[in-house]
Amino acid sequence: MQAILIYDTTLRDGTQGENITFTADEKLKIAMRLDEMGIHYIEGGWPGSNPRDIRFFDLAKRERFKTARITAFGSTRKPNIDAADDPNLKAILKSDTPAAAIFGKSWALHVQSIMDNTLEENLAMIADSVAFLKSQGREVIYDAEHFFDGFKDSPDYALETLAAAIRADANFVVLCDTNGGTLPQEIESIVHSVSDDLKRRFGDSGKLKLGIHTHNDCGMAAANTIAAVNCGAVMVHGTINGYGERCGNADLTTIIPILSAKMNRPCIPKEKLAGLKSLSRYVSETANIVPLNSRPFVGRSAFAHKGGIHVSAIMKESRAYEHMNPELVGNQRRVLMSDLAGRSNVEYKAREMGVDLGANGSDSKAIVAAIKQMEDEGYQFDVADGSFQIMLEKFTDQFKPLFDLESFRVTIEKDKDLPCSAHATIKISVGDSHEITAAEGLGPVSALDNALRKALGNFYPDLDTMKLVDFKVRVVDGSEGTEAKVRVLVESRDQDQIWSTIGVSEDIIEASWQALADSFQFKLAKEAQQHSKPSPNGKGNTEDLKQEWSVSYGA
C-alpha cells in the first residue's frame, strides 16, 4: 500500500491564524520537532514576504534534517514578465531549500475578476514558474488554489491549470479547498474526476501525484482530507493542532493517527506516534495558545471518562468505551470525579493514585456520597485531581500533612493615588516546629502565596521548582450577590507534572487558601515520595475532618 506523505504548513499557513505568531528561532525549534516526528515536508514560510521568514531559512540552512525536506513557499510569476526576473521566485531560490511550493489560480473568477488577468496568461504563469524552478534543481509542489470552487464553476479550465503544471514537470499537484466550503462527497466526486482526466491525458506515467490541502470552515477539513486519500491523494497538507486562517487548516494531529492507526496507511513511522501529544502541546505552548481539551487523539479530554457506567465498563474492557489505546498517541486514560461518578470512578482513581481503599469497598461508597454532596455545594473534582487525591487520603486515614496552618492575616491598603498593596502574615507548623513569616504581593492571594512559600522554604528547599500557572475564580450561584459562594481553581506545575486544586467558600480568600494549601501539600508529598524521605509528623486532624464530612455530607 502506497505511503502517504505528510506536508506540514504550521510555520506558514498556521501562522495566518488569529493570535498565532512565531519568531524565526521558534519556527526553527518547531521544525526540528517536526523532523524528529518523521514529517516528510516542512513548509517554512514565504521568503519573499517578510524578514522573519528569510531569517528562518537562513537558520535552517545550518541544521541537518534527518527526514524532512524544508520547503519555501510563494506564488507563480507575476503577469507578463519572465520567470527568471520574478522577485518572488528569486527569493524562493535564495532560500536554498530542496523543495519549493508555489500556488497558482484555478478559479476563473480569481483570474479574471480579482487579478484582472486573462485565462491564457494564467496558464502560462503556472507553466513558466514550475519549469523555471525545476530547471534550478528544485522539487516543485504546485498548489492549485481554490481548485474545488474553480472546478464547480468551470471544470475544464480548472483541469487545464493542473495539466499546465504537470506538463512543466511539477512533482506534485495539490488540490486546495481554500475557502473550506466543500463537503466530503464533493471531494470524492471531484478527485475521481481529476484522476480520470489526468490518466486520460498523461497515462499512468508516475506524474499523477495528487495532494490535498483543506481548510476547516465547515468543520470538514479532516474528513475531506481522508476522502481525498481514499480517492488516490498521496500527499496530505495540514498544520499541527489545525492552526490556520479563519477556522483553521486540516489538523495533522487528527489525520496522522487516522491514517496510521485506523487505515493502516503508512505515513510517519508508527513508533513516532507516541510523540504526537507532546508535539501538539509543544506547538501550542510556543504559540501561547491554550491547548484544546476536546481535540481528538491528543486532547486532555480525548480519553476522559466521567459517567460511572462508562468507567465500570472500561475497567473490564477498555475498548467498550475507547476507540483505541490512548498510549499509541502519547495520551492517557483519565477518569473524572463528579456528581456523575460511581464506585468504579473512585476505585479506578484510587488505584491510579496509589490510595488503598480497603478490600470491602465501603470507603468507596462513602466517598461517592461525599463527592456528590460536595459537588452540589460547588466543588468540581473532575478539574482538581490534586485536591481529590488529598481528599481520598484523608478519608482513608492515609493523609500525612507536610504542614498545618495555625493562622494567617491578610491586609489590603489603598492610598488615594496609588494602587492597592497587599500584605500577608502566616503561622504554620511543621512537625514540632513553628514558623511565622510575612510577605507582600500584587494582591491578597499573591501575598498569601508568597508568605506560605517563604515559611515552607525553611523546611522544604525544592519549592522553587513549583510555579502557579493558572488561577480561576467562579461564582457558584450568583443569586446571592456578593455573599455567593466562589470556587477557586489553582493550576500548578513543576518540571515533571501539572496538577489542579480547588477551594470553595463564601470568602474568596478562604477559598483561595484551600486551593493553595492543597497545591503545596500535593507538591511536597510528591517530593517526599520521590526522595523516599519520611514525612514530618504534622499535627493532623484526619479523624475530625472525616467525622465532620460524615455529618455534613452523609458519608
DSSP string, 85-96: G-HHHHHHHHTT
DSSP H or E stretch at residue 441 = strand 433-441
SS3 percent helix, strand, coil of the chain, rounded to 5, is 45, 20, 35
Rounded Cα distance between 168 and 272, Å, is: 36
DSSP H or E stretch at residue 165 = helix 155-167
pLDDT tens digit sequence for 176-198: 999 999 999 999 999 999 999 99
> For 275-279, 353-357, 525-529, 534-538, which range has the lowest pLDDT when averaged over its residues?
534-538
Q: What is the pTM of this model?
A: 0.72
Residue 68 scores a pLDDT above 90? yes
Q: Which domains does the chain have, with CATH numbers?
A: 5-265 (3.20.20.70), 404-547 (3.30.160.270)
Rounded Cα distance between 148 and 371, Å, is: 53
Q: Model confidence at 342, in pLDDT bands (50, 70, 90)?
A: low
Cell readout for 533 is 524521605
Q: Model confidence at 140, in pLDDT bands (50, 70, 90)?
A: very high
For 237, left (φ over 0), alpha (ψ -120 to 50), or beta?
A: beta
Rounded Cα distance between 143 and 63, Å, is: 27
pLDDT tens digit sequence for 219-259: 999 999 999 999 999 999 999 999 999 999 999 999 999 99
Mean pLDDT to the nearest integer, 134-148: 97
Q: Model confidence at 316, in pLDDT bands (50, 70, 90)?
A: confident
